[in-house]
Structure 1
Amino acid sequence: VQTAFAGAAMGTTWNVKILAPGELGDREQQAGAAIRDALEDVNSKMSTYVADSELSRFNAHRSSDPFPVSAETMAVFVEAKRIGELTGGAFDITVGPLVNAWGFGPADRREDLDQAALDELRSHTGWDKLLIHEGEGTLVKLDPELYCDLSAIAKGYAVDRVSAALTAIGFPDHMVEVGGEVYANGHNGEGRPWRIGIEKPDSVAGMQRVVGLDGLAMATSGDYRNYFERDGKRFSHEIDPATGRPVEHRTASVSVLEPTCAAADALATGLIVMGEERGYQRAVELEIAAQFLIREGDGFVEKTTPAFDRFAGPLQ
């Protein structure tokens, strides 16, 4: 029997489907609680919108004294650093002040940023200003102004946590989606892998491709969900750490398939910052399953890596 759960968390919506051999009965409540507890745990530790989250307290900690964090938060920082290195610094959790200044953060304001203001903000960003002591469970700021934002990886990590919680209580066949990031394992009610669509990035909803996921996550990063236009230019919420400015290239979205949703989430962000040339090249080198949708005229062209083609069926 396939049972669906849904709700809101982490500033977005979530949907979970579970396949169980028979009626869930009392176990429906157990499954619902496991889902909500996992989401709440991640949010309470890693949200910049929760004033007393571990992340908010670390951001408010204006000192280079080691700051202790939970194993969960540490795991996300370690994975973020790994993806940062894989993408040549394009995935960078320290660009939060720039995200905020361009009007995409918790403070919903948009400033006209001159180069001097950008340079000042950028001087307090960068992986080199953060030390991650995994063994000791501490984070160290080498610049007291350093501010970290995990929003491009925490949703994916939350998906992984929900999936692990469901498997632990005896529901290995499930599909978990939080804010568009998805992980699916096993089979759906029809005995087939869970089928997930990749949206077309335009104002008209419509699926670009359908991918079967079994033991795989898929995340999409796109400039079509969160952007503003000024003087005919489109500014996306993806900030290029190298310039401090929103990216301005033709890549409309990047979808990534990975064994974990945290990795898929962060890689999709890093690759869209890199764009259709550098990002595509890097994805091919690393054998990442990625689909790039690139603006051309009034439409889009698709560019996929060989690894993506192995997982995904032909274009719909």
Structure 2
Amino acid sequence: MKKEFIILILFLVKMSSCCAQLQPMFVEGFAQGTTYHITYIDKEERFFKKEIDSILKDFDFSVSTYNPNSIITKVNTNKDVVLDNYFLTCFNQGKKVWKDTHGTFDPTVFPLVNAWGFGPGKKQKIESRKIDSILKFVGFNLINLKNNKVVKSDSRVALDFNAFAQGYSVDVIASFLNSKGITSYIVEIGGEVYAQGTSEEGKKWVIGIETPIENKAASNPIIQNIQLDGLAIATSGNYRKYIEEDGTKYAHHIDPRTGYPTKNSLLSVSIVSKKGIISDAYATGVLVMGLEKAIKFLKKHKELEAFLIYADTEGKYQFYETPRFKLLKI
């Protein structure tokens, strides 16, 4: 699944010489086309990799557009399918964020994502007529749920939850750890993070937000560190995943309103909230808005904390942060 950004996790793994101090448990692996890293404190020293991998496999079977047998793929191809809680949660949360952002976040952007070559489908030759024809069946108003079944106004409408599914998967794993009585942990999947409690040293978990340098492979230098406890962070940017065509770079964030890749001064949007699915979805919607509209939006939505990195007229980094975001900085 997608990720155009990486939030570098700074796991606090320095071991103490005190024999009474609990040692952290580490679980890592691959899921959703990316990696995951989980650290937790458990007095019983239980190792949950098997359970976590099973959960993430079930999650992928629900909402991955890259899985030909997934629930979302069957919905997109108009096959009969029983919707599960993962799909329903994504659909309902997606509908809410779509309304809040006035369409800058829209999971029905999938046909455009494919056309531009950012999805599992074959890239198409981009022409204005082609974009206009696709836009006719892009819009979250064209698809609804009725008695937990999908109802489309146009059979060509197709969903893509990749813009916030990884954030939701972080929530799912956090919920699993909570169910096991784990109260101190940090979960990172594809760069999306939720942290709760403290490390083995009794300190809050620390993560770093990357400098938005064009880079498809490696990690970038950290531009800001923050502490999290009972909070999730997700970052969307236009520097990690892009294509080049005829000498022009196109970021993979598609503006659902125009059908074209987003092009504005925002380079990176980090959103902090109580849930990964919320942070992830709004990070995408805010990035597509552009700087001025994003600032106005964030002033109205005080449940979201944000750190925006943008380029000024000289190409230099500038920053905007919400008031309470400052309290997270170290």
Is the TM value for this pair above 0.5? yes
Deviation at 1:303, TM superposition (A): 1.0
Q: CA separation in 2, counterparts of 1:146 and 1:229?
A: 27
Query: How many Å separate the matches in 2 of 1:81 and 1:144?
Result: 18
Code of the residue aligned with 2:125 in structure 1: it is D
Q: Does 2:131 correspond to 1:118?
A: yes
Q: CA deviation at 1:72?
A: 2.0
Q: Contact conserved, 1:4 with 1:17, CA < 8 A, in 2? A: yes
Deviation at 1:232, TM superposition (A): 5.3
Q: Which residue of 2 aligns with 1:89?
A: 103
> Is structure 2 residue 320 aligned with structure 1 residue 303?
yes
Correspondence for 1:99 among 107, 113, 119: 113
**Shift, 1:108, TM fit:** 5.4
> C-alpha distance in 1, partners of 2:163/2:41?
29
Structure 2 distance, partners of 1:256, 1:293, is 12
| TM-score relative to the length of structure 1 | 0.91
Aligned match of 1:61? 78
- After TM superposition, the score normalised by the length of structure 2 is 0.87
In 1: Cα distance, 2:195 partner to 2:86 partner: 21
Aligned to 1:187: 198
**Residue matched to 1:139:** 150
Separation (CA, whole Å) in 1 of partners of 2:199 and 2:97:
31
Three-state SS of the structure 2 residue aligned to 1:112 is: coil
5 Å matches for 1:134-213? 136-202=147-213, 203=215, 205-213=220-228
Give 3-state SS (helix, strand or coil) of 2:72's partner: helix
Are 1:242 and 2:257 an aligned pair?
yes
Query: 2:13 is matched with which residue?
Result: none
CA contact (8 A) 1:70 1:137 kept: no
Encode CA deviations 1:8-51: one digit per residue, 9 max, x unaligned.
Answer: 110111000011236x1xx21xx212321221121010000111
Q: Which residue of structure 2 lines up, in the alignment, with residue 76 of structure 1?
A: 90
**Aligned mates of 2:165, 2:104 — CA distance in 1:** 17
Retained in 2: the 8 A contact 1:35–1:166? no
The answer for the alignment partner of 1:293 in structure 2 is: 309
Instruction: State the Cα distance separating 1:300 from its structure 2 match.
Output: 1.3
Please state if 1:278 is matched with 2:293.
yes
Write the deviation string for residues 191-235 of structure 1: whole angstroms up to 9, x where unpaired.
111101001111582111111111100000010011124455432
RMSD (CA atoms): 1.7
Residues 122, 262 of structure 1: CA spacing in aligned structure 2 closer, same or farther, 3 A cutoff? same
Report the alpha carbon displacement of residue 284 of structure 1 after superposing the two structures with TM. 1.6
2: CA distance, partners of 1:113 / 1:230: 10
Work out whether 1:226 is the aligned partner of 2:241: yes
Q: Which amino acid in the other structure matches residue 101 of structure 1? A: A
* Residue type of the alignment partner of 2:161: L
Structure 1: 5+ residue stretches without partners: none
Length, aligned pairs only: 302
Give the number of the structure with larger relative contact order, counting CA–CA contacts within 8 Å between residues 6 or more apart.
2
Could you tell me how far 1:299 is from its partner in structure 2?
3.2
- Distance in 2 between the 1:284 and 1:67 partners? 41
Give the Cα–Cα distance (whole angstroms) in 2 for the partners of residues 278 and 251 of structure 1: 11
Quote the offset at 1:239 in angstroms: 0.6
Counterpart of 1:94 in 2: which secondary structure? helix
SS at match of 2:279: helix
Distance 2:126 2:247 in 1: 17
Q: For residues 51 and 177 of structure 2, what CA distance do their matches in structure 1 show?
A: 7
Residue identity in the other structure for 1:14 = Y
- 1:3 maps to 25
The one-letter code matched in structure 2 to 1:5 is V
